[in-house]
Structure 1
Amino acid sequence: MNQLPSSTRPTMADVARAAGVSPSTVDRVLNARVPVRSDTASRIHEAAQALGYHPVGVIRARLQDERPRRTLGFLLQQRSSAFYGGLADALNAATQASPDMQGRAVVEFLADLAPQAVCTQLEQLAKSCDALALVAADHPRISETIARLRAQGKPVFALVSNLDAAAHAGYAGLDNRRVGRTAAWFITRQARQAGPIGIFVGSHRYQCQELCEMSFRSYVREHAPDFELLEPVVTLESDHYAQEATRDLLQRHPDLVGVYVGGGGIDGVLQALRDHVDSQPAVPLVAVAHDLTPTTREALVSGYLQAVLSHPLPQLAERLVGAMAEALAEPAPLARQIIVPFDIHTPESV
């Protein structure tokens, strides 16, 4: 392969101009003279790579060497859940790929959802981590634990479901008001006639589920007042309980026209819906649930679900890990809000 004449090769000045910095800053990265901000060094690396600058490998090595070593802890729910398994994989990948640090992820799952058990496991995880994120129900004890960890210099983020904790470092998840209203739009537009709609939540203490339910009701009151909204069914995040509760709901309301599953227990709800639809195929029922998993994908394909509103896991994980790195580098007095757009899946899109 012929090499370009030296006069046409990109220079340090070309890289500096493309990166929007001075040549001396590029020199500092190349020769590790003085520390350079990670975002600035990343910009220089990207410019050098795009221009084909010969010492780009040196810049890459400097970038890798200067990134701080960080351990991020993630406390998730239900090890058996396909959603949390996928989220764990995304968090591991995002931490390893972070341009801001040499990251290591420690992912744990909650066996006991009681507030005191959550606090105990969170504090234990914090002993080996620099920053943390957790999925938990809102509770004063959890807020107190987060405040203690913040005082120790360990930021804690709420993940998927926000928390009232004043000391938390931020929230990463969806705009649940839009999620609930979108679910209501689907059901009221696709139902063949007005009638009762059942709503399932895992617990009233999860802010994400509370907001989804409230906004679902708000949309129906505003745009579809002929529909009857039933009292929410609490599944306690249990598939077994959700299945029994769904069967009971269908028996008490044989004219049910819609079901919105805004919380855990989706596998149980779907099993009850399959039994119902298979035994009464002439009774149309519109069902909307959260998060695309092998189970919900199959339910879409089979026609038991009409829509799934889902977290974009790679994007959510990448944004959260970036915010955690920022919180460690530059602590902020106000909580960071990381809102990602949700994905909409239908039987024709999976």
Structure 2
Amino acid sequence: MAHRFLIKEIALQAGLGVATVDRVLNGRAHVREGTRRRVEQAIRELEKQETQLATTGRKLVIDVVAEAPSRFSTEIQEALEAELPGFHPAVLRPRFLMRETMTTAEVVETLRSIAQRGSHGVLLKARDVSEISAAIGELKAKGIPVVTTFSDIPLSARIAYAGLDNRVAGATAAYLIGQWLRGAGGTVLITMSDEGFRGEEEREASFRRALRVKHSNLSLLDASGGHGLNLQTEERMRKVVTKSSRIAAVYSMGGGNAAVLKVLEAAKQDPICFIGHDLDRDNVGLLLRGKVQAILHHELRQDMRSACQHIMHFHRLIPASAIAPSSSVVVVTPENIPEHIASRFR
């Protein structure tokens, strides 16, 4: 396996022992395929961090653990890597473990493995459940700070949350739909990826509250549970959407929007407006084709900057006053897609 890094550097990046990495690099027997893939991933990460590795300063190894569709986890990784050069006097070396779906047990096992091998901090996107909260407490006991990102676990021992204000997002979606419908009645289709993610749960609760107070003539049809993945979302949609549904608007909190639109079209449903979240490749394309009317966007680079600065503050490298705030809700239409995002998808 070609590489130009010291074995100890690869081992640190992979979170494995030096002897294990040596066996992988030399093609020896009795190595699990998952271990081999982890070493390959570590080398790719080191190649991306090569400029950082040559920089002097306090080196912090941080673990990024996220359950998210690949389109969003890719955005997370690219946003963090873009911010790495700006963290002087620290040199941050991220290790990524991101999967489209993870059981609670898998998340807990991952966090306990991090606690065992050591880390300077963890950026975590996971469900708000007691087992994961307990694992965060175990990390704290080991002196490893956790920052929850994009979906909070507020009653845990995490040191901070970095990400969108999801209550504001839900209320904003309700306002936009109210403006588009102009008093007309009908059904609003809502979709969450998974009720266990507090961020989406907060969006949904705020959205429901705003509709109940200001738009009581609108009813809700819930097609949640597709994990933000197209196949699962399509399956869930087909169970609840029919040709008699009278869907006037859609608020998609968890993604899988191509699948949502596919089922709506098959059911002869033509909503007046469709509000989604996140400017990933899929949603930018849907915006430009007029399939989605607005996306609620938050600047991932700012959220990653804030999350890492919380860890730097924990290690007394910067004062609290230097920590950037989390990003605000931005309503994006086809007319105001940020240039730095649009240019990536041309």
- The two structures share one fold, judged by TM-score above 0.5: yes
From 260, 277, 296, give the equivalent of 2:283: 296
Residue 87 of structure 2: aligned partner: 98
Superposed CA offset, 1:71-124 (max 9, x none): 11111224x522210111111232343123022111211364211100111222
Structure 1 pair 260–268 and aligned structure 2 pair: CA distance change class (3 A):
same
**Secondary structure of 1:99's match?**
coil
From 321, 324, 335, give the equivalent of 1:348: 335
Structure 1 pair 111–263 and aligned structure 2 pair: CA distance change class (3 A):
closer
Residues 1-350 of structure 1 aligned to structure 2 (within 5 Å): 65=56, 67-78=57-68, 81-110=70-99, 112-126=101-115, 127-191=117-181, 193-231=184-222, 233-251=224-242, 253-275=244-266, 283-329=270-316, 338-350=325-337
- How many residue pairs end up in the alignment? 278
Give, in angstroms, the shift of residue 331 of structure 1. 11
Distance 1:124 1:92 in 2: 23
Distance 1:174 1:284 in 2: 26
Structure 2, gaps ≥5 residues long = 1-54, 338-346
Pick the structure with greater CA Rg: 1
**Secondary structure of 2:178's match?**
helix
Structure 1 pair 180–111 and aligned structure 2 pair: CA distance change class (3 A):
closer
TM-score (norm 1): 0.73
**Secondary structure of 2:108's match?**
helix
Distance 2:247 2:61 in 1: 49
Letter of the aligned partner of 2:263 in structure 1? A
Identity %: 26
Distance 1:272 1:104 in 2: 42
**Secondary structure of 1:234's match?**
coil
Give, in angstroms, the shift of residue 158 of structure 1. 0.7
Give, in angstroms, the shift of residue 207 of structure 1. 0.6
Distance 1:134 1:274 in 2: 36
RMSD of Structure 2 on Structure 1 (CA): 2.4
Give, in angstroms, the shift of residue 284 of structure 1. 4.0
TM-score (norm 2): 0.74
**Secondary structure of 1:305's match?**
coil
Letter of the aligned partner of 1:134 in structure 2? L
Structure 1, gaps ≥5 residues long = 1-63
Structure 1 pair 112–84 and aligned structure 2 pair: CA distance change class (3 A):
closer
Give, in angstroms, the shift of residue 228 of structure 1. 1.3
Distance 1:163 1:70 in 2: 24
**Secondary structure of 2:315's match?**
helix
Structure 1 pair 83–166 and aligned structure 2 pair: CA distance change class (3 A):
closer
